Structure 1
Amino acid sequence: MGNIIMSHQKLKELVKKKLEQTGVLEEHAEIVAEVLVHADLRGVHSHVRFKWVLIFEQEIRVQEI
Structure 2
Amino acid sequence: MSDTTILVEQDDDGTNRLEIVCKPFDPADADYDGELFLGIYWDGKEEAFGILKREHAAKLAELLTRDH
Under TM normalisation by the shorter chain, which class is it?
Answer: under 0.3
Larger fraction in strand: 2
Larger fraction in helix: 1
Query: Per chain length, whose mean CA-contact separation is higher, i.e. which structure has more relative contact order (CA < 8 Å, sep 6+)?
Result: 1
TM-score (norm 2): 0.27
TM-score (norm 1): 0.28
